[in-house]
């Protein structure tokens, strides 16, 4: 509350502070919490862009200028990511989203950083430091609350791609990211593993070739683990409902001719 009062006292014409009580209890998550701000911005402020920036990041002074410059260089670009480095400044945290057959991954994570300045096309941005064109979000939608935390940004990237927009990494925009899941250390049910498995199954159902749900074998194991953790947490019916919604979403996307093209190009 002390921090909130200090921020509230700083409010001027260009600063809007939203006090949300939803995240006080574990019902909103990363997806829902960010959606509060995104929806407010889109409906009230009418911005050209929406920037997502995690609270465990430190930025270089020109990081936003470089992102906007890249966004304005090509109308086909719908989303962008800053170069994410570990706090040591020498190790990569993320160069964007990579779609592997065993699940999404941050490109280059934990690898030594070698400087480069050319923008690089990626499937989509890690939401720890991502810039989205407002018109693209109006078209593709915001985060899906079903994901709560983990892969919510990948789901959004799929929808942005299916709407015909591209995404790029902007290496001249640098952000240092500590990385972690808030409150995970207090969980008795291993929150991270639960959402990794569950949300990967939801992505598989929505966007991937049907044969991948059970192959490779790791995906079948993920399904079993997702069911196991859902039972432990008393959320099995919720998981079943999310699977049903994902099947409905799949039926809608399967009509999009871009789906097969994106599967062939980006899934490795």
Full DSSP string of 231-257: HHTT-HHHHHHHHHHHHHHHHHHTT-T
Residue ranges of the domains in the chain?
Answer: 30-177, 188-266
103: alpha, beta or left? (left if phi > 0; alpha if psi -120 to 50): left
**Averaged pLDDT for residues 143-156:** 94
pLDDT digits (tens, 9 = 90+) for 70-82: 999 999 999 999 9
27 and 145 in contact (C-beta within 8 Å)?
A: no
- The pTM assigned to this predicted structure is 0.90
Question: Average pLDDT of the chain?
Answer: 89
DSSP three-state, residue 55: coil
| Neighbouring residues of 124: CB distance < 8 A, sequence distance ≥ 6 | 79, 81, 96, 97, 153, 154, 156, 157, 158, 160, 161, 167
Among residues 249, 29, 5, the alpha carbon closest in space to that of 141 is found at 249
pLDDT, residue 25, reads 44
155 and 143 in contact (C-beta within 8 Å)?
A: yes
pLDDT digits (tens, 9 = 90+) for 157-209: 999 999 999 999 999 999 999 987 554 444 545 788 899 999 999 999 999 99
Q: Is residue 97 pLDDT above 70, yes or no? A: yes
- Does the 30-177 domain belong in CATH 3.40.430.10? no
pLDDT grade, residue 7 (50/70/90)?
Answer: low
pLDDT, residue 188, reads 47
pLDDT, residue 171, reads 97
pLDDT grade, residue 100 (50/70/90)?
Answer: very high
Residue 144 DSSP label:
-
Cα(147)–Cα(118) distance, integer angstroms: 32
Candidate ranges 29-33, 177-181, 211-215, 260-264; pick with highest mean pLDDT: 260-264
pLDDT, residue 11, reads 57
Residue 5 half-sphere exposure, CB side, CA atoms within 13 Å?
2
Q: Is residue 148 pLDDT above 80, yes or no? A: yes
The proportion of the chain whose per-residue pLDDT surpasses 70, expressed as a percent, equals: 87
pLDDT grade, residue 27 (50/70/90)?
Answer: low
Phi, psi of 123 (to 5 degrees): -65, -45
pLDDT, residue 218, reads 83
**Averaged pLDDT for residues 235-246:** 96
pLDDT digits (tens, 9 = 90+) for 35-65: 989 999 999 989 999 999 998 999 999 999 9
pLDDT, residue 22, reads 57
pLDDT, residue 98, reads 96
pLDDT grade, residue 86 (50/70/90)?
Answer: very high
């Amino acid at each position: 509350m002390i921090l909130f009062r200090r921020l509230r006292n700083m409010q001027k014409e260009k600063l809007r502070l939203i006090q949300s009580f939803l995240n006080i209890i574990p019902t909103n998550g990363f997806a829902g919490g960010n959606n509060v701000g995104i929806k407010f911005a889109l409906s009230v402020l009418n911005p050209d862009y929406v920037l997502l920036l995690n609270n465990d990041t430190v930025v270089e002074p020109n990081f936003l200028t470089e992102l906007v410059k890249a966004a304005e260089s090509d109308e086909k670009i719908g989303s962008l990511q800053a170069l994410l480095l570990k706090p040591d400044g020498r190790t990569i945290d993320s160069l964007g989203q990579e779609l592997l057959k065993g699940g999404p991954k941050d490109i280059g994570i934990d690898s030594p950083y070698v400087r480069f300045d050319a923008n690089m096309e990626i499937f989509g941005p890690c939401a720890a430091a991502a810039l989205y064109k407002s018109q693209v979000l109006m078209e593709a939608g915001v985060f899906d609350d079903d994901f709560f935390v983990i892969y919510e940004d990948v789901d959004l990237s799929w929808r942005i791609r299916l709407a015909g927009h591209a995404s790029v990494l902007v290496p001249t925009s640098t952000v240092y990211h500590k990385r972690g899941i808030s409150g995970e250390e207090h969980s008795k049910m291993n929150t991270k593993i639960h959402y990794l498995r569950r949300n990967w199954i939801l992505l598989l159902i929505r966007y991937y070739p049907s044969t991948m749900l059970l192959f490779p074998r790791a995906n079948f194991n993920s399904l079993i683990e997702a069911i196991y953790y859902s039972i432990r947490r008393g959320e099995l019916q919720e998981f079943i409902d999310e699977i049903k919604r994902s099947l409905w979403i799949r039926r809608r996307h399967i009509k999009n001719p871009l789906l097969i093209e994106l599967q062939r190009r980006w899934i490795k």
